[in-house]
Each structure stands twice: as C-alpha cells, then as structure tokens.
Amino acid sequence: MDPTEGWHDTPAFSGSCQCGALRYDVTAGPAFASICHCRMCQRATGSPFAALLKVASARVSWHGMPAVFDSSSLAERGFCAACGTPMFYRQKGTEWIKITSGSMPPEVPFRPTQQWGIEGRHDWLAGLAIPGAETVERDVISHQGAFN
Ligand SMILES: [Zn+2]
C-alpha cells in the first residue's frame, strides 16, 4: 500500500469538547481520516465506531488538560474530564495523534479512506464502500473492563 495514499491536506482548525473546557488548535498540514470498528474504539467513543483524523502530535496545542485513560498496552484515549467528550486516540511511542471527528468543526473535511477493525463491525455497516482491514494489533493487551 502506498504510504501516502489516503493522506490529504487540511487547513488549520480548532476544536472542542461538548462543554468547552477542553479545546485545541491544529495547524495546517497532512491528515488521514479513518474509522475503527474495534471493541476498544466502540467503547471509548460510546458509538458503533470511532471516526478519527490522524495528524502529527506536534501540530496540536491544547487549551485545558485532557484526561487520559490508558486503554491498552498499545494506546491511550484522551477525553474532557468535565463533560466526558472523547477527544483523541494516541498510540504510545509514536509522534501521531488521532483527533475525534466529532470534536472537530463541521467545515473541516472528514472523508475516511480506510476502515480498521472490521472484525468488530456491526452487520448494518457492512455495506460501507471504504477499504477495510482487520485490526492489525493482534497482541494488544486491553485494559478495558471484563464486561465486553
Ligand atoms: Zn468538556
């Protein structure tokens, strides 16, 4: 797979949680939009799937301190401690962060070109015309509660 495939340039934008206590600014640059159906993303977002925009962490500045849940051996999840809005997914030890699309302003283009974790995909979403792949992190140790 072409490593540049699916990347597109986004303008600078600012986003926020539902209550406004946690905000961020992202500078203009390349981004990759995807969705993930895995059980950890479903639970972390309380949704059928997570919709995430991948950008370099260095391009994001925060106003307010995100709360962070150490969701697995691979990744952590940031959210607003005041209102609970999921704000990001961050793979440990990388320079990337994935911002939740729902925290972004509607004028920022969000067109997913990849779907991950299709092993967890709901049947009613099976017709999505976006290339899909199973979760690649097979050896991840989940820190979620036991009630899956
Ligand atoms: Zn909030």
Q: Over range 41-46, report the average pLDDT.
A: 95
The neighbourhood of ligand 1, an ion, using CB within 5 A, equals: 17, 19, 21, 80, 82-83
CB 135, CB 67: distance < 8 Å: no
Q: How many angstroms is it from 148 CA to the middle of ligand 1?
A: 26
Q: How many angstroms is it from 6 CA to the middle of ligand 1?
A: 31
Q: How many angstroms is it from 75 CA to the middle of ligand 1?
A: 21
pLDDT bin (cut points 50, 70, 90) of residue 145 is: confident
Predicted local confidence at residue 133, as pLDDT: 84
Domains and CATH numbers, the chain: 7-125 (3.90.1590.10)
Q: How many angstroms is it from 66 CA to the middle of ligand 1?
A: 9
Rounded to an integer, what distance in angstroms lies between the CA atom of residue 100 and that of residue 36? 11
Residue 128, strand partner residues: none
Q: How many angstroms is it from 31 CA to the middle of ligand 1?
A: 24
Q: Which residue matches tokens 């440990």?
A: 92
Instruction: Average the pLDDT over each of 3-7, 26-30, 40-44 and give the range with the smallest value.
Output: 3-7
Q: How many angstroms is it from 123 CA to the middle of ligand 1?
A: 32
Instruction: Average the pLDDT over each of 40-44, 86-90, 135-139, 140-144 and give the range with the smallest value.
Output: 135-139
CB 94, CB 85: distance < 8 Å: no
From the number of C-beta atoms within 10 Å of its C-beta (0-12, 13-18, 19+), residue 24 rates as buried
Question: pLDDT per residue over 79-133, tens digit each?
Answer: 999 999 999 999 999 999 999 999 999 999 899 999 999 999 999 998 888 888 8
Q: Which residue matches tokens 């934008």?
A: 13
pTM of the model: 0.90
Q: How many angstroms is it from 143 CA to the middle of ligand 1?
A: 24
Examine the pLDDT at 144 and tell me if it is beyond 70: yes
**Which token pair is 133?**
């792949």
Predicted local confidence at residue 138, as pLDDT: 67
Summarize the chain as % helix, strand, coil (round to 5).
Answer: 15, 40, 50
